[in-house]
Structure 1
């Protein structure tokens, strides 16, 4: 990452995507991807265009949404040429979420799966603020990396694993404050790979996330 720029927990697997944390100030409209410059938080604004590459109707995205047990009516997608992948509550409804993305017709799947994982985390916790109070940002982020690995192995195992990893660019920081931490590069890769090799016969993604928080995080991180 660039010097003095930190990508924080809930939303990113890509170099310009996938890390986030809702700032615990009570504002549920805060985005779940945030950037800090010299420690100063900056809120993201969703891309203005209404889903220019039609992710809502992409078959792979639909398959992932189904596995996560998210209702499509709860989601809206926004895309722009210059932007980042992030997830945030829709301030028009506390039961809806926005996935904002950078337009890339080749490399959208992996980071979108990570963002959708964050939507499930928010739903299970009762909102973005509740999630940020429940877990530190690093645990949230690594859980989403793990869930993305599970989805890869269950839904897209015919894809090239190395190429998929490159598309999500599992980047992290070696020096970051505990409040903003989302994991070192080796930790993010490990979380994703642990998900890839998860062997439970029955997959319930809410239970997968809970298992990560209760058992896997403490054991491996």
Structure 2
């Protein structure tokens, strides 16, 4: 039997099917047929009445209900979770994306203020918090946002700025990058940036810096994500001679 079967999430419909099969045959035959752990079948049979009540509730999409655990469970840190939920809901009302990492950082911040510094608000704790409060990371709109009417003029002005910034700079020193778990950097000449230096031992008294790109006048293009337009980031670019 697959050792990971007990960690999977099953719908109420699926559990009721297993219960019915086990009642008509045996728990052993049910676990062989459905490839689930026997302890799960025993547990689900004890919850049969609750499962059937959920199935008969017309207000619930039974095919999307996975478990009873977590529903109505008393919060371990009620004050913190109340503040955290309010934080997420306010962000979502403002049409701002709230990521798991943001919730995790905010939980630690609230925990510190509530003298819970020793409590570890791990990623799994955040996922459980999101599931319990039915939170999603992205707010989707049903109507596509329209482009502004002066979009052609905006693009034209932007291209003029790009030309002025890059007219006297070699293409290999024009860089555009974004982050998707790692930095993905390409120059205007189409070259992908190679590793800056080989992994090797460096004595602690030596400060390693890779400045090949910064030896010449260069330009880096980034989107207006908050971390890209912070004053300290812009200042760091300017100190390196970058626009």
What TM-score results when the alignment is normalised by the length of structure 2?
0.21
Higher helix fraction (1 or 2) = 2
- Higher-Rg structure is 2
Greater share of strand: 1
Point out which structure has higher relative CO (alpha carbons under 8 A, 6+ apart): 1
